[in-house]
Amino acid sequence: MMLKVNVRHLAEHGLHLRGELPVAELDLGIDDELVRVEKPLAYDLAVELLHDAVLVTGSLTLPLDCECARCLKKFTTNLHLAGWALHLPLQGEDAVSVDNDCVDLTPFIREDILLDFPQRPLCRLDCGGLKDKTARKAKVVEKPAPDLWAKLDKLKLK
Ligand SMILES: [Zn+2]
């Protein structure tokens, strides 16, 4: 059930992978109170064999069940990697390990998901949080009195 690509099959024609990877396989190793990963990762990937590498391009979408770090409201969001690209060399020092003609994409997906994983989820960017008085006060913008503006205008004319 891992996300594997058979390199031998690739040599004949490109491949289109589309499906879901169970959370258990993704094995993010994340124990975050604010972000829960319970739904499978959806992938939609094109795989092709280049001269001496495998090229994978496409999108990855991981639904997240979050709790806002400021107001504790529960919300869902997607970690979405739209233009994801992976270049896997088959030769040389950085060559990817090929097992029974297969390359496992899972570790690379895991790595990139973790890089993009939200550290401090917010229900909205401007979430005001729980009844936080200091946050509310900051929103009140004090306008100068009209006569002050008039004085300033006169100063500019001098
Ligand atoms: Zn919030």
pLDDT tens, 73-106?
999 999 999 999 999 999 999 999 999 999 999 9
User: In angstroms, what is the span from residue 101 Cα to ligand 1's centroid?
Assistant: 48
User: In angstroms, what is the span from residue 52 Cα to ligand 1's centroid?
Assistant: 48
> Is the per-residue pLDDT at 149 higher than 70?
no
Give, as residue ranges, everything with CB less than 5 Å from ion ligand 1: 68, 70-71, 73, 123, 127
pTM (2 decimals)?
A: 0.77
pLDDT at 134: 53
CA torsion 97→99→104→110, rounded to 10°?
Answer: -60
Summarised one tens digit per residue, pLDDT across range 106-148 is 999 999 999 999 989 999 999 998 865 555 555 555 566 667 6
Q: How far is CA 54 from the centre of its chain?
A: 23
Q: Nearest CA to 73 among 111, 32, 129, 126?
A: 129
Average pLDDT over the chain reads 88
User: In angstroms, what is the span from residue 62 Cα to ligand 1's centroid?
Assistant: 21
